[in-house]
Amino acid sequence: MSDNIIETAIERGLFDDAPWALFIDIDRLQHRFALLNDAFPADTLHAVAVKANPLVSLLRQLVDQGAGLEAASFGEIEVARLAGADDHRIVYDSPAKTVEELQRALHAGIYINADNLSELQRIDGLNPPEDARVGIRINPVIGAGDIEATSVATKASKFGVSLTRNRRALLEAFRRYDWLRGLHVHTGSQGLELDALVEGVKRCIDFADDIDADPAAAPVETIDIGGGLPVAYHPHDETPGVDQYATALRDEIPHLFSGPRNLITEFGRWLFAPCGLAVSRVEYVKESPAGPIATIHFGADLLLRTAYRPDDWYHRVTIHDGDGRRRSGDETQLTIAGPLCFSGDLVARRRPLPRPQPGDFAAVHDTGGYTFSMWSRYCSRAFPRVFGVRKTAAEALTFQPLHPGE
Ligand SMILES: Cc1ncc(COP(=O)(O)O)c(C=O)c1O
């Protein structure tokens, strides 16, 4: 529906006042959440990762569909509350929680995943209430995957407690703290094969089984398997569906789905990324020895990772004429540059694409997750306009402005 979105948005004058916008296909988002729900046991808490897309009204749609929310900071807890999430359905994962934040989360009944053994000591010092719900993040140490900067399961990762180096200390913690009842694993984000994701969860469950076999330790009541399911940014990428992931988990670790433990997931990218389309008017086109350069109105401010690590964070781009019709035919080696004051501010580098004219539009696909949540204020450019797009029963598109915090 992306071509249709662009043509209709132009026709409705949405680019008359400002040259660019981000569109989120809400029907698609809800469909993907329904797929996630269907793939896992019905009582799974799907705590959607707020960091992927912190727009309150979008999160509210998911909360209304039964989602919980995963917060990586106290600010995200506030976003989750605004989106209507009950405190009992919020999972708090920051690696830098202060004593005061821990105190507030404990007493609100928020589920806390501690990041390290010192944090457990801190929590103990706060005399957790009887009904406190606390887990500890383990690092399953399965290796880096394809993208170093988002890998979280190497020996040197900054997240969680290494299962290889600290297994004994972790077991000791389950003996010492009777309020510690959960294990958390998030093996990586994009760049990981299905086998690696499953292996990360398997190591976590094997450890949970060891804890349960220890008569001196409190049993593991909750397993949080994090997120990390990759999406196909490149047309050649073949990525697993959520049903394949769930089937692989069920095959490899049958008691993950059938045992008495509570199950939590924290999906972000897989839900949101394919639902977003960023569209900018092409302001100028100039020549260079390396081919034409089209200047548009977003760059590293929206696509931080793409600008700095273009090979890891590829996005598909299409070129459209002034009425939104997709251009095809003769291709050139096109570079698409953002508006910011540094030369690495590039969205695409020497891509085989049709040559645009000023007044055309460039559309960057799969931009629904980890884009404006990483928005950079560099050059003081206006915060993105975001529109939620839906199809009515009569197949007409509706565009609803979505503002942060509402
Ligand atoms: C702890 C944790 N949970 C969940 C997520 C969401 O991961 P993804 O968006 O890859 O599904 C992340 C992402 O960084 C994370 O760090």
Residues 6+ apart with CB under 8 A from 56: 79, 82, 83, 404, 405, 406
**Do 94-265 and 2-24+274-402 have the same topology in CATH?**
no
Of the candidate CATH numbers 1.10.287.180, 2.40.50.140, 2.40.37.10, 1.10.8.100, the domain formed by 2-24+274-402 belongs to: 2.40.37.10
26-63 tens-digit pLDDT: 999 999 999 999 999 999 999 999 999 999 999 999 99
Expressed in angstroms and rounded, the spacing between residue 71 Cα and the centre of ligand 1 is 10
* Shortest-distance Cα residue to atom 5 of ligand 1: 227
* Residue 101 burial by Cβ neighbours in a 10 Å radius (0-12, 13-18, 19+): middle
Q: What percent of the chain has pLDDT over 70?
A: 97
pTM of the model: 0.96
* Shortest-distance Cα residue to atom 12 of ligand 1: 227
pLDDT at position 389 is 97
Domain locations in the chain as residue ranges: 2-24+274-402, 94-265
Residue 148 pLDDT > 70? no
Nearest to 142 by CA among 183, 94, 195, 211: 195
**DSSP letters for 310-349:** TTTS---EEEE-TTSPBP-SSEEEEEEE-SSSSTT-EEEE
Token code pair at residue 264: 């939590």
Mutate to test the pocket of ligand 1, among 266, 272, 371 (most ligand atoms within 8 A of CB): 266
The second-level CATH assignment, the architecture, of 94-265 is Alpha-Beta Barrel (3.20)
pLDDT at position 144 is 62
